[in-house]
Amino acid sequence: MKFFVDSAEIDAIAELNDLGMVDGVTTNPSLILKSGRDILEVTKEICDLVDGPVSAEVVALEADDMIAEGRKLAEIAENITVKLPLTWDGLKACKVLSGEGKMVNVTLCFSANQALLAAKAGASFISPFIGRLDDMHIDGLELIEDIRTIYDNYGFETEILAASIRSVNHIQDCAKIGADVITSPPDVIKKLASHPLTDKGLDAFLKDWAKTGQKIL
């Protein structure tokens, strides 16, 4: 499974990247706002830091304008993935931009039908939102399962990029289902290393070690 970091914070991305935990990055207008940075500037900095795909999102609503913005964003670096909303105009833009050889991430997916359309339009990635469906008392993981089944049935190459990850359990379940990628805030990825029994065992080892009176260095 590939790990994408859902952030525009350079320091947080760099920390995980140094550990080999970053296969790509996703950003959106809300994350750009949170960073307080210029979109072109911070996106270029992320692209220079990370080797994998970096999603940069258009903000236009009409297909022609999305295409123009997508082309502008793609000029930032070779690893840019143009992020488009799953609307009819977004699908039109996806078809054009993917036809030009650009990577496209179709986002805000909430149904398997939408994911099917995105694959037909040539999307590199489809981003189903787990947490936002869970907020509506709809099983977001079931959507990942449905998309996986449909894509496998017909050999679509579009990668399932599970988004709106809220917990370590979301990541574990997506891995079991077979999502190609998860994109997650840095803190959730770091929590994957935590377990109370690890902490308890380490504490016991250290107490016993102290009783030996020994040192390694």
DSSP characters over 150-189: HHHHHT---EEEEBS--SHHHHHHHHHHT-SEEEE-HHHH
Q: Which residues are catalytic?
A: 83
The residue whose two tokens read 């089944």 is: 149
Would you say 185 and 153 are in contact if contact means Cβ atoms under 8 Å apart? Answer: no
Residue pair 108/85 in contact (Cβ under 8 Å)? The answer is: yes
140 by DSSP, 3-state: which? helix
